[in-house]
Structure 1
């Protein structure tokens, strides 16, 4: 049986770093992050769910999603793909298209870095652009740890590893 460590995340005044070892290949992890597959695992009944995922996975391509909160609100988010080096690295902008309580509509940038480790993949997320928004950075660090836990559970449930 494979034992994976719990996802880790931390923030400073400008950047959130989060990391997890995932029981899947880099290609499988990328698919879970940037295709409609995201709707299967990103969220929970007591927090929020991703719906209406749409992405044009190319340089300059856009992505959008609607976050359905546990209390029934529909909160859109979107961005653009800035760098794509499949399956090693994807960089995208992120923006809430509503007034987020700690970040407003400020655009941030998230980089997904994937490193194969045997039959697993180490995913590191570097999410920057929080300067002047320390509460948002701390909140997003907690959020990324939770999201990586969901992803780890989802990939582990379907993995023969």
Structure 2
């Protein structure tokens, strides 16, 4: 069965370094995502997506590639599937400077077709990345959309 893929591209008036920091710094992700992404962000390390209010772990994965400030690739899974790598999907963040802006391409692939994850991320990524763009360009994230 062929796996599903979701791609989202946006352009943000910022620098690659500032965008990279916003993707990794838990204090930044808390503002636009309402969650903290926690890791040392080194290849081979684990990462966790935690609720900032109670610390509940919502997603887990491993860092497959970390090339600051241009590329981050990680696995993405429900904590219950942490040991079942066949149930992990993959997220790639590509940060490309273009003149005075940065193109951010998020590719989330290796998704089981028709899974709840496909539906969740198809709605979730646009909300999260729009809020990130707003935070970096105007200084405040969008009101909570989820």
Q: Are 2:20 and 1:38 aligned?
A: no
Query: 1:98 Cα deviation (Å)?
Result: 5.0
Q: Are 2:132 and 1:151 aligned?
A: yes
Higher helix share: 2
Match of residue 144 from structure 2: none
Q: Are 2:92 and 1:111 aligned?
A: yes
For structure 1, the 5+ residue unaligned runs are 1-11, 43-48, 100-104
Q: Determine the C-alpha separation between the residues in 1 that align with 2:126 and 2:49.
A: 20
Q: Determine the C-alpha separation between the residues in 1 that align with 2:3 and 2:115.
A: 5
TM-score, normalised with respect to structure 2: 0.79
In 2 relative to 1, CA 30–73 (structure 1 residues): closer, same or farther, beyond 3 Å?
closer
Match of residue 61 from structure 1: 45
Bigger relative contact order (CA 8 A; separation at least 6): 1
For structure 2, the 5+ residue unaligned runs are 141-146
Match of residue 92 from structure 1: 74
CA contact (8 A) 1:14 1:134 kept: no
May I ask how many residue pairs the two structures share in their alignment? 134
